[in-house]
Chain A
Amino acid sequence: MNKTININLGGIFFHMDESAFNLLQQYLEKLKITFYNTQGKEEIIEDIENRIAELLREMKKHGDQVIVLSNINSVIDTLGQPEDFISEDDDQRLIHPEKKLFRNPEDRYIGGVISGLGSYFGVETLRMRIIWLILAVFSAGAPVIVYIIMWAFISEAKTTAEKLQMKGEPVNISTIERKIKEKFGEVSEKIKNTDYNSMTNTIKNKSKTFFFVLINFLGKVFKLIGVMIGILFLIISSVLFTALIISIFSIELMDFYEYPEFFANFSIGSDAPFSLISFLVFVSLLIPMLFLFLLGVKLLRPKSKSISMLGKLILLGIWLVSIFAILFLGFAKAKSQLFTSKTQLEYTIKKYSSNTFYLKKGTY
């Protein structure tokens, strides 16, 4: 049993066995390399693809028949290996050692920009990544923008030829063949492995470790900051709470108060009973403290249950009421203390001999 792949070759639709597909792809890749520097390579490849389609169509009499490996093999026999197309002197021009900058799709966390740059400059990818990260941290993130721009403008190394160029290896049939064999060896090894899925998973995990370590690290840092803030909130709220309790008791029970003058004026001069005012002040300070405390608890234990939404709303309502009551009483007091004043100064001006008066600015 084999998986089949649907392909479009030269405008004709084919069902193809997976192994047949791989072989055909490998063959076409090799052709692309062979004609890499030839003028009109696209046209040549297209013509050959059309011919392959024609040959396959002749082989396949029934519409539903699947193309198998032997079909592709006989097509390749008819067309010949790319090495046979080109004579030795032609082969010379295939050597193309010039390095080019590509994004590397085989070794990447985000876009493969860094590993592409690494290949270009001959720096180990891991080192390149660390350099980039340090730059990003110490220059307030400018490399992130540079990265995105490079991601957009540098093309990905898609074909084997481009991958070789990325590494500065000469592009010719032998290097291509080596590269393709490497790739196929890798693939067949993977397939051979019985625990195929877990194998690929570990490979994926391995390749992503660096990124996840970073995310993990940042996550831990943020968590730590959260815990510290939470502890701070708890300390502040409990200290304030204690202070408040002590003050309310000392005021209410022991009549011991030595508060600022404005508070004294406010409470003493007001019509409202003193206990009401101290109660309102107590409530208006207690509720924010309670919220601060709850927030601290939430930061320390994100999953802990807080009071319900309704409870919060009721507390908020009580708080607003007490604030407004204090404001109302304050305004009432201010109104009662309101008075108008007028200052009148009278001077008699003596008669002078001259006709002109000079007024001099002075202080009273």
Chain B
Amino acid sequence: MNIDNTKAQMRKGVLEFCILTILADKDKYTSEILSSLKSSKMLVVEGTVYPLLNRLKNSGLLDYRWEESTSGPPRKYYKITKEGKLFLSELTVTWEKLFKAVKTISKSKYK
């Protein structure tokens, strides 16, 4: 078993959930999404996000629009859709359950 691979897999699973969470209250453009993911150490390489964003967009959970920027080329702003919100709330529940479960297991283990 390759430890890096396992780590990447774990992170990837949670990544979609994180992106949806970031976009839950505010529309953001790609670089903003990247920097919030990076500042929370959720992301190692930026490249991972692009296929993910594309997939989320194609399955209708996200939508985007182009917006002019004063400092550079137009930016792609992502926005969560209604469907995306539903998806997110379900994921949140699952995540909380999972988190609790993992915590319980590790607590019982270290007791």
| Proximity string of chain A (12-41) to chain B, C-beta cutoff 8 Å, 1 when within and 0 when not | 100000000000000000010001001110
Would you call A39 and B58 a contact (CB within 8 A)?
yes
Among the stretches A77-85, A200-208, A338-346, the one at the interface with B is A77-85
The answer to whether B58 touches A80 (Cβ under 8 A) is no
Contact call B46/A10, Cβ cutoff below 8 A = no
B interface: dominant SS: helix
Asked if A298 lies at the interface with its beta carbon under 8 angstroms from chain B, I say: no
| Chain B residues within 8 Å of A82, by CB | 47
Q: Once the chains bind, are B8 and A84 in contact (CB under 8 Å)?
A: yes
**Which secondary structure dominates chain A's binding surface?**
helix
| B46 cross-chain contacts in A, Cβ below 8 A | 51, 78-80
Q: Whole-angstrom distance between the alpha carbons of A330 and B15 in the complex?
A: 110
Tell me if A64 is interfacial: C-beta within 8 Å of chain B: no
- Give the docked Cα–Cα distance between A275 and B109 (Å): 138
- Chain A 57-77: CB-based contact to B (< 8 A → 1; otherwise 0): 100000000000000000000
* Interface size range of chain B in the complex: 20 to 34
B72/A48 in contact, CB under 8 A:
no
**B76 interface hit (Cβ, 8 Å):** yes
Distance between Cα atoms of A80 and B49 in the complex (Å): 11
* Residue in B closest to A43 when the chains form the complex, CB atoms: B54
Query: Contacts of A43 on B, CB cut-off 8 Å?
Result: 54
Q: Is B48 an interface residue (CB 8 A)?
A: yes
* Contact pick for B44, options A10, A11, A39, A80, CB 8 Å: A80
Report B-chain residues with C-beta under 8 Å of the C-beta of A283.
none
- Ordered by A's residue number, 21 sampled pairs between the chains whose C-beta atoms are within 8 Å are A11-B73, A12-B72, A12-B73, A39-B54, A39-B58, A40-B54, A40-B55, A40-B57, A40-B58, A44-B54, A47-B53, A48-B47, A50-B76, A51-B30, A51-B34, A51-B46, A51-B50, A57-B72, A78-B45, A84-B8, A85-B51
A residues touching B (Cβ–Cβ < 8 Å)? Answer: 10-12, 31, 35, 38-40, 43-44, 47-48, 50-51, 53-54, 57, 78-82, 84-88
Contacts beyond the supplied A47-B54, A80-B44, A84-B48: 4 A-B pairs with Cβ under 8 Å:
A11-B73, A50-B76, A80-B46, A82-B47
